[in-house]
Amino acid sequence: MSNLDHCYSVEDLIKLSKKNLPPVCYDYITRGSDKEITLERNKSIFDSYTFNPKILVDVSNIDLKTDIMGVQSSVPFAFAPTGMTRLFDKEGEKAVVRVAQNYGIPYCLSTVSTTSIEDVAQEAKSANLFFQLYIWKKREWIYDFIQRSKKSGYKGFLLAVDFPVLGNRIKDKRNGQGTPRLKKNMILGALTKPKWAIGFISGGKLVLANLKNWLPYGGDVQKAVETIDNQFDDSLTWQDALDLKKEIGENHPLYLKGIQSVEDVVKAKEMGFSGVVISNHGGRQLDSAPTSLEILAEAREKVGKDFEIIIDGGILSGSDIIKALCLGASSCLIGKAYLYGLSAGGEKGVDKVVNILRDDMLRTLKLIGCPSLKDLSKDYLLKTKNL
């Protein structure tokens, strides 16, 4: 029996992930910015709601299918874009996209992925793929990503709008992440996890795969860090986002990822974007940013039921997803949850996460007496009173 067989929750997978990964890599998934107030609140906000269950309802026929960014998903969540995924498992993005394809769940590839746009598409030819963009100073790189994604059959784009500058990730700084040279603690940490180290070496050099052709040293991650940090453009405005939308064209939707206020959700709708992801980047950017749940219900009220609002941040169970849907989310993204699965057991670990979340959602819907996702509403929730 594999260790994964003894995992019954994402928390169990977190323990396995911690056991498998060198501390630097585990911290890179787990930790947040500054005092990590937002990181912590992302999780605790879900616990501040209890359910308001209905009894004696026929819940024998529940379907979790949901439309996400214009494609059908078997469950109301998609895989969030995460950079450097091959740090956590030698197959990285390829392992995740295979699970995405198997279950019919959309997958968003990060600009700073360690497998290229083309290789991900090749690995899972019938997966629904989306590409996450930044507007970098070098606009020609962005236009290249757009053309390549379209050519490889990606269905749409997410623009990360919460990144005028990298958040203050203190633990990563202490760990030497983001500096161009390997530090002693990184090498020592890797030596304590020989299985990971062997996998890492056998997986080939870690590169920013989408940038290979643009960088003189072939996208080598260690060397590319400074180049990338210098690319974030703090002069961007809504007009730049609109220009990008025009560049992408009518046939591919563009979602703004990293919206953090009700006003900006309304503005995104007014300006004609396909939808938004309310997100604080998993507590890795602005500390003391609001959690998605705090602004979701008001945002939904303001934009009406048809505008697509996806949320992310802190989701570790199916019941968290159901609470988000009750408050008006169209669907959710999961980030850390699947990375823990990946580092706990590669493709099988990601598969395990999907099953845990799916079973949780089905069980929760039955226990709260809700026969279908479309019936979810605030009526199924109570704000927890201090006990």
Ligand X SMILES: Cc1cc2nc3c(=O)[nH]c(=O)nc-3n(C[C@H](O)[C@H](O)[C@H](O)COP(=O)(O)O)c2cc1C
Contacts to ligand X by CB under 6 A = 28-29, 42, 80-83, 110, 112, 132, 160, 257, 279, 281-282, 312-315, 333-337, 339
Which residue carries 């590409």 as its tokens? 131
Q: CB of residue 61 vs ligand X: minimum separation in angstroms?
A: 30
Torsion of CA 243, 238, 160, 223, to 10 degrees: 70
Structure tokens at 282: 């998993």
At 119, phi and psi to the nearest 5?
Answer: -70, -35
Question: Rounded CA gap, 74 and 358, in Å?
Answer: 9
Question: Rounded CA gap, 315 and 42, in Å?
Answer: 8
Complex with ligand X: residue 79 or 370, whichever CB lies closer: 79
Q: CB of residue 198 vs ligand X: minimum separation in angstroms?
A: 22
Complex with ligand X: residue 36 or 347, whichever CB lies closer: 36
Angle between helices 194-202 and 184-191 (to 10 degrees): 110
Complex with ligand X: residue 131 or 380, whichever CB lies closer: 131
Complex with ligand X: residue 80 or 105, whichever CB lies closer: 80
Q: CB of residue 375 vs ligand X: minimum separation in angstroms?
A: 25
**Catalytic residue selected from 150, 269, 281, 300:** 281
Q: CB of residue 73 vs ligand X: minimum separation in angstroms?
A: 16
Residue 290 DSSP label = P
Q: CB of residue 80 vs ligand X: minimum separation in angstroms?
A: 3
Q: CB under 8 Å to 176, separation ≥6 — which residues?
A: 24, 182, 183, 185, 186
Exposure of 101 by Cβ count < 10 A (0-12 exposed, 13-18 middle, 19+ buried)? middle
Complex with ligand X: residue 83 or 178, whichever CB lies closer: 83
- 252 catalytic per annotation: no
* 181 alpha-carbon distance from chain centroid: 27
Task: List, by residue number, the catalytic residues.
Answer: 281
